[in-house]
Amino acid sequence: MAPHYLDHAATTPMLATARAAYVEELARVGNPSALHKSGRLARSVVEDARERMASALGAHPTEVIWTSGGTEADNLALKGLFWARHQADPRRTRIVTTAIEHHAGLDPVHWLEAEHGAVTVVLPVDSEGRVDLDALRAEVAAHFDEIALISVMWANNEVGTVQPVREVVNIATEHDIPVHADAVQAVGHIPVDFRASGLATMAVSAHKFGGPVGVGALVARRDLTITPLTHGGGQERKVRSGTLNAAGFHAASVAATEAVATLESEADRLGGLQRQLIARVREAVPEARLSGPEPGPERLPGNVHFVFPGCAAEALMFVLDSHGVEASNGSACSAGVAQASHVLIAMGRSERDAASTMRFSLGHTTTQDDLDALLAVLPEAVNRARTVAGVFDARVFG
């Protein structure tokens, strides 16, 4: 029996058009940096893909820097911008970010603090995961000449909260402070227009919107100076050296084009399933508490995240998995030991609640049958997870 897959925020199946484009291009040979015919043809594939990706993201083709995914794009933006800005003006040591960023955004900042003298400023969020704009205004007013950059994710990967990116940029623009956004969860799911956003840089990852794993892009304004992380052949504006993945970029651009073209209708479809799922979970498990905003423009249409009080998240996940329902507890794990979600902690939840979560994320293959399968086993799964909660509490809180 095929699993009922409800973990699209982690990765979503490749779109049929992207898969076909990928397989077709894999049959060709040619290094895009080579000057012979095969190399030139491969280069044309890369540049055609760059144009399609730029069009889908509201950017100019010269602003698209190919990467291996969102993590590399975040690291390139955060480290590259910090190094360049700090070198140009040693006073600029401050990096302003939020408490609910993905680890691909938080860990590079903390590394820069530990190894390169950066000063990390972590903005608080409200109970639904929205960044505190008043705190940002106060920080910028007090330290505008010390801030190297601001980093705010476009949409949260755990609870689906959409951040007020345009307002963040407006606050920063007055003092010419560049803003980076991790848009990995946003692209293909809500409208994303790089040019209209006013952002300096933006990270995207293809496997979140139906492209292949291992392909992404950093969208970066041409006027920016970004110190490269790697050095070699000087590809991608001399910012990201390495042999170009023509087949991957081609498939990613095909996926982005389709995802953006069908965004409105797919968001309506997923939003309907999302609202239904939230209502049915609340009916089946009355004590369950939704994390993040109610369905609407401030929440990703495919994200449903609940706290199930008294449950051990891993136990709940494994029970669901044993019934063929695949979802994620949304919490970080290290060496097999569960940790309370830093996102839920930042939103004011207790550590116990933050370790009792489950995320059901919907995507282009999600159907009514998937929701029915989940609800058929969820009450039993919650009860079974509660019976082993003491063991997990000892591991997490003991």
Catalytic residues: 333
CA distance linking residue 132 with residue 109, whole number of Å: 19
CA distance linking residue 161 with residue 147, whole number of Å: 25
DSSP 356: S
3-class SS at 285?
coil
Q: Minimal CA–CA distance to 195: which of 161, 222, 227? A: 222
CA distance linking residue 99 with residue 113, whole number of Å: 15
Q: Count Cβ atoms below 10 Å from residue 91 Cβ, excluding itself.
A: 12
8 A C-beta contact, residue 194 and residue 176: no
8 A C-beta contact, residue 68 and residue 214: yes
Largest CA distance in the chain: 66
Which value, to the nearest 10 degrees, does the dihedral of the CA atoms of residues 40, 41, 44, 48 take?
-170
Q: Give one DSSP letter per residue of 137-165, joined into a string.
A: HHHHHHHTTTEEEEE--SB-TTT-BBP-H
Give long-range contacts, CB 8 A cutoff, 24+ apart: 49-52: 49/246, 49/249, 49/250, 49/252, 49/253, 50/249, 50/253, 51/253, 52/253, 52/254, 52/256, 52/257
8 A C-beta contact, residue 247 and residue 26: yes
Radius of gyration of the chain (CA): 21
CA distance linking residue 43 with residue 31, whole number of Å: 8
Write down the residue that tokens 């059901």 correspond to.
360
Q: Minimal CA–CA distance to 12: which of 191, 172, 157? A: 157
